Structure 1
């Protein structure tokens, strides 16, 4: 009976895997997420390598598309600030809020999946590193949404302060109170999510130092994303440069020991690290110059 039950379970898993592959090939990422979630939510499941890749790809594609949509709308809001009617602004902000919620929900979803299902059944430390890395990545995206929202709030406030229209100002008392309360709540939420991202990246970093070679693509991807976190979320440019530079230099000294597949992945990530280091150094030097003068 157990043998038949296991066989039936494997057949169902293979069907879900096939559907996830088809959804990926047709770029139906919502469905792809659904299928890989059904696999990951099975009791006692340990994801195979292909399933891990599909899980990462599904959420990366879905959330990545939504982040791109959000950047477009935020740029529109920035460009049109002060030129829109209240009705136009209302619908633009409503759309922005809708996409923000979708991103945050997906980030919460994959983190819950990792905590409740995947992390419980990990037997391989490389898997554990991957899951901590994913938690760090999606908490970073969540923090990115909250940070952008807070920045938009402060920019709107600056815009209103520069507006001398007394009629416009007199109608803002209640709106000010509501936005200020929302801003305070979101700042606390941002701090919590920020701490979760930092904790996840730190745990992944500890494990990677003992388990993965300096040129291992997973380790390099972790350091790439962690350095982006320090640059974009923490605003710590010097620390971001240091993390990226150490990862890059370590990989250079060890890359020849990697197999062909890892070598290819490694060089791609190293290029991204080098590009970021160059760009961030320019920003850091400009900041240093501005502080002097």
Structure 2
């Protein structure tokens, strides 16, 4: 009799435990969000900024020093070949050159012996072409050194973007690559173009309070319209790589351990299994996956919050 009583008690305990284990498991399981791997065509881009300008322009320079006496044109003026751009004050040139020679002599510079034939200096500077004055780098009564651009005259109908490309991105930029062009001056519109030119040498430009090494590039603009105006700032997005049907995961599904190994938690039933993966470049859509998981598999959001190789979860 006692034997049957013990057997009955054990049976009751067993049934009770079996009924409560699922609820206990739910209480100990970790709640987590879920995302899935997916495929899509992608493009990798690099960004730069620049200024819209006419495709053809003429820079007016002089091989002599100049001091503009009166400037007759303004930016945006249309001029014809032979029109006067500014008159030159020869006496002021002489005075300023004398001051420069004196300063050079005091500094022991070789330039103190340089002589300039004032009679060879033109009395006026005229436009060499028909076109629109797009920039003036001359100021009345201020010396302009030889071979410096005084006025720029645009004489073409096309438009382009002159952009400064950071040395951090230039290695991936090639002539002929597709470009998307946007800007605040033509907000809501996107224009297409191509990388048309890359300078052979880099240069330093002032960016805020620091100097940045850049390479100058020219971006052609396909079918420009009246919304684009020379002088507007433009943002250029250069497509440096395009791939079709690429496997991706959302950024929030990826984590990295102390050994810099990248991993995800792949969901199998009510469990999440830690899985090492190999990744490619980052895109605006997600991270490219090279190996470790397949299309359509479900992954845990914020995997760094889980501990262990296999964790019981409850999907949210």
**TM-score (normalised: structure 1):** 0.17
Identify, as 1 or 2, the structure richer in helix. Answer: 1
Bigger Rg, which one: 2
**TM-score (normalised: structure 2):** 0.16
